[in-house]
Chains A and B, each alone.
Chain A
Amino acid sequence: MLHFELVTPERLVRSEDVHMVVVPGTAGDFGVLEGHAPFMSTVRDGVLEIYKSGATTPETIRIEGGFAEVNDRGLTVLAEKAE
């Protein structure tokens, strides 16, 4: 499982283990699965897709202005706004 955190300046929105997250990067969407190589990207305003397991339909969260970091602890998305 991939450890995923979504943080805004106001609060920690999500901190959970998920199957996959698709992040709207500035240079294009990218999906992050468990064991992804270390990666940093700025994020454009768009929709974050969270797949709890392989088969389900994704949960979507709109984010604005942000930044994503993948390291060996998982994926962290820092967004100015998330709803």
Chain B
Amino acid sequence: MATLKALKIRIGSVKSTQKITKAMKMVAAAKLRRAQEAAEAGRPYAERLETVVASLAAKVASGPGSSPLLAGTGKDQVHLLVVATSDKGLAGAFNTNIARLARRRAQELTAQGKTVKIYTIGRKGRAVLARQFRDNIVHSVEPGDLGKLGFAEARAYADDIIARYQAGEFDVATLFYSHFKSVLTQDPTEQQIIPVALPVTKGDTAGSAVVEYEPSEEAILDDLLPRNIAIQLYRAIRENAASEQGSKMTAMDNATRNAGDLIKRLSIQYNRARQAAITTELVEIISGAEAL
């Protein structure tokens, strides 16, 4: 029976696929916990830095002498989209969602007559965006395993972006990444990083008291602004790492379940075919015996 054999092979192959997806799901779950902890551990720093920058920026009036990282270049003609994704696929719609958000923004900006430049972090985001905006991509980096990426690397990307800003390559930079809400929901997010988008200052305790600054408010701010960009980038990568694993876990869970359904269906088909074969064989034997 050729079909019987074919079915058996098919079931075996689906079973081994299921084994792989199940293992990948388990690996993602283990990595997720670590990535999630890392993303959460990084939050205090980013939050504290943000409040300090906000309270300082409010004091140092954005006059002509203030840092261009804070005040901007006075134009918004050239936009840089920094698209952070991952290098690996098999994570559901994780990479596609981020890239889609960036693509929509790029289309909007182009329609408004602005110049769009794209800076990709991660191979997958680049692959999606290159289809439509190949000539707009100014630089791409491949970070490898997001979970292992340290602050030093994020700092290097940030320094590169700041150097491009100072060279006058663009006026506004926006960062695209996936915000890790929970294992099931990851929101693709965009955040303006240059010039710094300031959060609304909420009842700051330092605001009421007289604070002494060393060396001076401006000097501290000049030191903090580039650092803040590096931190925002680092946070985005951390969030991405957690989102990627969460997304991968869900995707692999679905794949495992689908494989299970498929195995069940194929098994029923296989059993029917086997029984049919037995029945025909019996009928043949009995009718053969009767004929004697």
Chain A residues proximal to chain B, CB less than 8 Å: 7-12, 25-27, 37-42, 65, 67, 69, 71-73, 76, 78, 80-81
Contact = CB atoms under 8 A, between A and B. Distances in A.
Interface string B195-239: 000000000011001111111000110011001000100110000
B223 A38 contact: no
Nearest to B219: A42
Contact of A42 (B49, B215, B234): B215
Given A10-B38, A11-B42, A76 B215 contact: no
Contact of B223 (A9, A11, A67, A72): A67
Given A67-B52, A67-B220, A39 B41 contact: no
Nearest to A12: B44
5 contacts: A38-B209, A39-B213, A40-B56, A40-B212, A40-B214
* CB-CB nearest 6 A-B residue pairs: A41-B214, A11-B41, A38-B211, A38-B209, A9-B151, A7-B45
B220 A41 contact: yes
Mostly, the B contact residues are: helix
Contacts, number: 84
Interface in B46-63: 46, 48-49, 52, 56
B117 interface: no
Contacts of B209: 37-38, 71-72
B212 A80 contact: no
B126 interface: no
Nearest to B51: A69
A48 to B, nearest CB: 16
A80 B228 CA distance: 11
A71 B205 CA distance: 8
Nearest to B223: A42
Contact of A41 (B49, B213, B227): B213
Interface string B124-163: 0000000000000000000000000011001100000000
B214 A42 contact: yes
B282 to A, nearest CB: 71
B123 to A, nearest CB: 24
A76 to B, nearest CB: 6
Nearest to B56: A40
A42 B217 CA distance: 10
B231 A9 contact: yes
B45 A27 contact: no
Contacts of A67: 49, 52, 220, 223-224, 227
Nearest to B38: A10
